[in-house]
Amino acid sequence: MTIPPQQFASDNYAGICPEAWDAMAAANTASAPAYGDDDWTQRAADAFRTLFGTQCEVFFAFNGTAANSLALAALCQSYHSVICSSSSHVETDECGAPEFFSNGSKLLVARSDDGKLTPEAIRELATSRSDIHFPKPRVVTITQPTETGQVYTAEEIRAISATCRELGLKLHMDGARFAHACATLQCPPAEITWRAGVDVLCFGGTKNGMAAGEAIVFFDTELATDFDYRCKQAGQLASKMRFLAAPWIGLFESGAWLRNAEHANLCAARLAGAIDGLPGVRLAFPVQSNAVFIHARDELLEGLSARGWRFYTFIGGSARFMFAWDARIESIDLLAQHVEELAVTMDEPA
């Protein structure tokens, strides 16, 4: 068996991109004040304000689970609830951290096949009960792009935020792959965040070329009150903050944040284009960002595993392939070739 040269099970299999690495090296040339009181952290926060064109408050956490959980906890009292979709990371992949850090705010889950929330689904959950016995709806969280790779348009986000405002709900965006959505939509980041009514964004760095790190961006700056204490209490205040902050400067100043995401999206489109429509193979979701989900016969997926390919099958039994800044065209083409060989072999009459 030849071992696949590169795996696409997750976009966090990738290493650190050169721009992030160089920025960390540059931050490593001298000592600097600790706990975020340094120039790198200041410059990184300013870079976010420049990118978004607004006076947002920015914080840096080690990972997305913490970023999401602490952001949601900042928006909620313990008796509040958070509306999310059934396949959202906060519901399925954070081990109860949003409930834990909010001291019990309940997640209200809307069934969603593709991971998207709609104004209708939000309204239905938010108005299902208004009595004292039910946790009071306070926040809506949407994932951009969704866990299934679907991208909300600016119009869809505006419609959701209009519903939120009408119902007195705050809007949080889990942007673990926010850059990939920007690359798909080719629009200014402001257009799909604060200008569309998003109050808080968790902007992912890890899946887009950084070693570690997510930024929590408060567009409604009043919501950021005491957030630094919340980070510290949760073990998320980096003492050598400059190494979480500097990579953002490297990514933004070089444009790599968008280039990396564009590359990853193109790689997903390349695989999808090569295998969609092969016998017994079909896409489980439209490919709108850096993920490809395929439905195929068990034998085909087993065949891919036997050839050494790794992939997740936790969403509806379909196989997921995800691409990052480092995906190589030859590796994608080899995967596509293997899918094709298996599909064609299985299609032949015995």
**Where does this chain bind ligand PLP (CB under 6 A)?**
63-65, 68, 89, 143, 147, 174, 176, 206-207
Q: How far is CA 57 from the centre of its chain?
A: 20
Determine the angle formed by the axes of helices 18-27 and 242-254, rounding to 10 degrees.
130
Q: How far is the CB of 97 from ligand PLP (least distance, A)?
A: 8
Task: Give 175-201 as a DSSP string.
Answer: ETTHHHHHHHHTS-GGGGTGGGT-SEE
- Which residues lie below 8 Å from residue 25, measured CB to CB, with a gap of 6+? none
Please count the other Cβ atoms lying within 10 Å of the Cβ belonging to residue 7: 17
Task: Give 151-164 as a DSSP string.
Answer: ---HHHHHHHHHHH
Of the two residues 207 and 230, which places its CB atom closer to ligand PLP in the complex? Answer: 207
Cα separation, 147 vs 163, in Å, equals 22
In the bound state, the residue with its beta carbon closest to ligand PLP is: 64
Q: How far is the CB of 115 from ligand PLP (least distance, A)?
A: 9
Which of 295, 319, 317, 324 is closest to 309 using CA atoms?
Answer: 319
Q: How far is the CB of 94 from ligand PLP (least distance, A)?
A: 7
Q: How far is the CB of 69 from ligand PLP (least distance, A)?
A: 9
Of the two residues 27 and 90, which places its CB atom closer to ligand PLP in the complex? Answer: 90
CB 119 within 8 Å of CB 197: no
Of the two residues 33 and 316, which places its CB atom closer to ligand PLP in the complex? Answer: 316
Of the two residues 8 and 338, which places its CB atom closer to ligand PLP in the complex? Answer: 8
Q: How far is the CB of 176 from ligand PLP (least distance, A)?
A: 3
Burial 263-288 (b: 16+ CB within 10 A, else e): bbbebbbbbbebbeebeebeebbebb
Of the two residues 170 and 207, which places its CB atom closer to ligand PLP in the complex? Answer: 207
Of the two residues 36 and 64, which places its CB atom closer to ligand PLP in the complex? Answer: 64
Q: How far is the CB of 284 from ligand PLP (least distance, A)?
A: 17
